[in-house]
Copies of this chain bind each other. A is one copy, B any other.
Amino acid sequence: MTSALTEQLAGIVGAAHVITDGDVLDGRSIDHTGRYRGHAAALVRPGSTDEVAAVLRACRDAGVNVTVQGGRTSLVAGTVPEHDDVLLSTERLRDLGDVDVEERRVRVGAGVTLAEVQRAAAAAGLVFGVDLAARDSATVGGMASTNAGGLRTVCYGNMGEQVIGLDVVLPDGTVVHRHSQVRSDNTGYDLASLFVGAEGTLGVITALDLRLHPLPRHRVTAICGFADLDSLIATGRAFRDMEGIAALELIDARASALTAEHAGVAAPVDGAWQLLIELSGDTDLTDRLADALEDADLCGEPAVGVDTTAQQRLWQVREAVAEVLGVYGPPLKFDVSLPLSSIQEFATDAVALVAEHAPEAIPVLFGHIGEGNLHLNIVRFDLTGEDERALYSAMMTLIARHGGNVSSEHGVGTRKRDYLAMARTEADIATMRAVKAAFDPTGYLNRAVLFS
C-alpha cells in the first residue's frame, strides 16, 4: 500500500482511524481457530456511510483489495484478509435509533451488537427475532451479511427476515438507501434480500432497519430426555411447525458430559439425547406442551420451567454447550442442515468418520432441530495440515451424500468456498458470479470469501 493511499484514507476518516501498527493488524488478520491467516496493510475505521463510500472508492482506484470486518465472530473465516488488504471495520457505525413502538422497528448502524439491539427492544417492551451465543460481539451488519440464524429461527426466521431496510455502499462507492416507511411495497427488485447473505461481496451494509416483534405474554420451557435420536427426531417433527414454537434445541450426551465436567452444568433429565422445547404466546401454554408430549417416547419425566428463573436454568444447559466447546482448543466445526429423515443416519456415520480419522477426538452434536440443523463440533481435535483437511473434506462429502447442506447458517466464508458446488449447481454459481461481476467488476471487495 502506498503512502499516498494512507494519506488519502487519513484525509477521509481522520489519521486516528487509519491504523498500520503491525500487532493490531496481525490480530485482525487471523480467524478464531488460528487455521486461517492473512495479511493486512491497514485498518480503516470510517465513521459514516459517506466515509465508507469514500474509502471504497479510494481503495478501488488504487487497486487495493478491501476486507470488511464487523464483530469478527465468523465461524467460517469470513473476515480474514488475503494479502495487503485494507481492513474496513464497521465498529464506529454505532448509531442506535429510537425504537418505533407503533411500527415495531428500529434503525441501527452496522456496528451495533446484537445484545445492544436486544436490550433496546426489551426496553421498549418488544423482542428482536434473532438470538445466538456471540450476542455480545456479533454486529448486526455482519449478521445481515451472513444471514445469521440461531436459537430463534424456528420462531422468527433468520436475520434476513428481520431486515426491512438498509443503507449499503456498493463497490463503486454508490450509496443505496432503501428504507420504505410502509409495510407493503412491491416496486421492483428486492435488493435488500440480495445483500443479505452476500457476505459483503456485493457491498458494505452500513445501517439497517430491523423488524421487532411483540413480547409474548406467556412462555413455557422444557428439557426432555430420549434414549435414542430417532425418538427425539419424532418429537421434534411434531413440534417444529406447531403454533407458538419458540425454540427446539438438540443436545447429545457427549455435550452433556463436557458441560458437566467443565461448566458444572448437569443434564436435568435422563437419556443420551436432550431436546429443549420452548413455546411462547398470548395464552397459557403449559397444557399445550403437556398434550403435545403425551405421545413422545421420553426417558422419564421432562424438566419443565414455568417461571423465568426455572427457564433460565434450563437455557443454561444449552448455553453451557457453546461455552465448553473450546476447552481443549478450537474445535473443528461443521454447520449442517439435513432433512429430518436423514439425521439419524448422518449422525451415526459422522461419529464413525471422526473415530476413523481422529480416535482421540470427541464429536459433539447439538443444534436447531426445527430447521434440521446440526452443529457438529469435533472437540479435543489436534489434526493439522493435510490430516485436518482430509477429515474436513470427507465430512463435507458425507453431508452431501445424506442430502444435507454444507452451510446451514454460518455461511461459506473462506472455510467452505471450495465446497460451494456441493450446495449449488454450476448454473446457479455462474449466475452468482455474474451478479458479483456486475457489482464489483474488478473483484476487489471481500475477495477471499464465497467463491473459490
Question: How many chain A residues touch the partner (CB < 8 A)?
Answer: 83
Return chain B residues, CB-CB under 8 Å to A406.
Answer: 187
Return chain B residues, CB-CB under 8 Å to A175.
Answer: 427
Chain A contacts with B in 192-211, Cβ cutoff 8 A: 193-194, 196-199, 202
Q: Is residue A431 contacting chain B, with contact meaning CB distance below 8 A?
A: yes
Most buried by B among A371, A408, A424: A424
Q: Is residue A386 contacting chain B, with contact meaning CB distance below 8 A?
A: no
What are 24 pairs between A and B in contact, CB < 8 Å?
Answer: A170-B431, A175-B427, A176-B431, A177-B425, A177-B428, A181-B339, A182-B338, A182-B403, A182-B408, A183-B370, A184-B371, A184-B405, A185-B408, A186-B408, A187-B411, A187-B412, A188-B197, A188-B423, A189-B194, A189-B432, A191-B431, A191-B432, A435-B435, A435-B438
Q: Are B185 and A428 in contact, with the CB atoms below 8 A?
A: no
Q: Which residues of A contact B (CB under 8 A)?
A: 102-104, 146-147, 149, 153, 158, 160, 170, 174-178, 180-191, 193-194, 196-199, 202, 213-214, 216, 237, 241-244, 281-283, 288, 337-341, 368, 370-373, 403-412, 416, 420, 423-425, 427-432, 434-435, 437-439, 450
Q: Which of these, B370, B372, B434, contacts A438 with CB under 8 Å?
A: B434
CB contact under 8 A between A187 and B420, given known A177-B425, A437-B438: yes
A240 (CB) vs chain B CBs: closest residue: B183
| Distance in Å: Cβ of A124 to nearest Cβ of chain B | 14
Most buried by B among A237, A282, A416, A420: A282
Rounded to whole angstroms, the CA-CA distance of A409 and B338 in the bound complex is 34
Q: Which of these, B102, B187, B339, B439, contacts A407 with CB under 8 Å?
A: B187
Rounded to whole angstroms, the CA-CA distance of A149 and B208 in the bound complex is 24
Q: Which 7 A-B pairs have the closest CB atoms?
A: A438-B438, A193-B193, A184-B371, A187-B423, A182-B337, A184-B337, A184-B408
Q: Are B427 and A188 in contact, with the CB atoms below 8 A?
A: no
Q: Which of these, B244, B370, B405, B437, contacts A180 with CB under 8 Å?
A: B405
CB contact under 8 A between A184 and B373, given known A425-B177, A438-B435: yes
Return chain B residues, CB-CB under 8 Å to A182.
Answer: 337-339, 371-372, 403-405, 408
CB contact under 8 A between A198 and B194, given known A182-B408, A183-B371: no
Q: Are B405 and A187 in contact, with the CB atoms below 8 A?
A: yes
Rounded to whole angstroms, the CA-CA distance of A428 and B203 in the bound complex is 13
Rounded to whole angstroms, the CA-CA distance of A371 and B181 in the bound complex is 11
